[in-house]
Amino acid sequence: MLCLILGSLITSIPNAHAEGFVYSFDFSPKSPDMVPFGKIEMVSSIDISEQLTTINNQIYLPDAPQIVVFNTSIPKSIITNVQVMYQDANSSWNEVGITFDPDVANARFSLDTEGKKGLDGYRFTLNYTVNTSSIYTLKPNTLLSFEYFLINKLGESDNASINLTLPKGFKPLNNTGWRVQDERFIYSAQISKASGSFYTIFNTDNDYSGSLESLKQEISNLRQDNAKLSETILELQRSVESYKVENQNLTTEIENLNDRLLNAEEERKTSERISNNFWQFSWGLTILLPILLLFFAELRTKSVITSTQLLISSIVGTFVIFLILYILFIT
């Protein structure tokens, strides 16, 4: 599953009095060849209050790879608190310490799932807390927008929903499907499997004619930026694949070169052995043949052997010495 990283885009247009916050979330195996998740069940709850905004993601997975990468578009710099928990086989919730990826500006981290499986699968809770002032200016006569993207592609058996609670005193432009609880508007709905997104506009004043068009334009700009970012990520992925192929080719060439070097070393050792043996063979002939001939000549001088026997003995002796030295040093 391809993991797309969308940056958190927080905009403020003072002249038009319109602000928007785009929040995206996804999780994926660290490596594409890892075990897939199977069915996904997820609930994202966003509570926007005057002081703090909390974002809670509850996830159930029947199966999971050993390493899961969780990624959100929220910049690390504005997060005041993060809590990651899992439910164990005893149905107890346990907190896990996490470290954000230092190579990216947004809140991304990896989680080792070993030993974290519950009775019927894996259950995780991810809580992020930010100061509301870092994403919105809650003031009258200002249009505010909230847009949510679930990057994971949902299958037919998957289920994802969202709960959004607006600050006290704020109301959606279109309150169809909303309910009021403790003087706050709350919306709950299933996330579309086709788009994986949710979008709403809210404010404190109905006098929004001057800012509505500006907000729509800003939202359009945000979506264009998201599309450009997606294209950039795809280009980077293609570059990585090209690098992998090139690296594999270089690895193959290095292996071939190592093989040639090993063969050359073996040939050098063989050549040295043959040269050394031939040197010993030559010196053996040089030393032993004169001694043999002198020995036979001495026998002839003392009339122990005849001239014919001397000739035959010299020939036979030379052949025997040659044969012995050949067997010892050449073969």
Paired strand residues for 106: 75
Amino acid of residue 218: E
With a threshold of 0.85, does the pTM exceed it?
no
> For residue 161, how many other CB atoms are within 10 A of its CB?
15
Report domain 9-207's class: mainly beta
Q: In 15-78, where do the E strands start and end?
A: 18-29, 41-48, 52-61, 67-75
Rounded to whole angstroms, the Cα distance separating 67 from 55 reads: 23
Q: pLDDT tens digits, residue range 128-153?
A: 999 999 998 888 778 899 999 888 88
Give the pLDDT mean for 33-42: 74
φ, ψ for residue 87, nearest 5 deg: -100, 125
Domain boundaries, the chain: 9-207, 278-329
pLDDT digits (tens, 9 = 90+) for 83-104: 999 999 998 999 999 999 999 9
What 231-235 contacts at long range (C-beta under 8 Å, 24+ apart), as own/partner pairs, is 233/4, 233/5
| Helices vs. strands in the chain: H and E counts, helices first | 2, 15
pLDDT by residue (tens digit) across 308-329? 776 776 777 777 767 776 676 6
Cβ-based neighbour number of residue 112 at 10 Å: 11
Q: Which helix (H) or strand (E) covers residue 282, if one does?
A: helix 209-301
H helix or E strand, kind and range, residue 283: helix 209-301
Burial of 211 (0-12, 13-18, 19+ CB in 10 A): buried
Compute the distance between CA of residue 229 and CA of residue 2 in angstroms, rounded to an integer.
14
Higher per-residue pLDDT: 228 or 57: 57
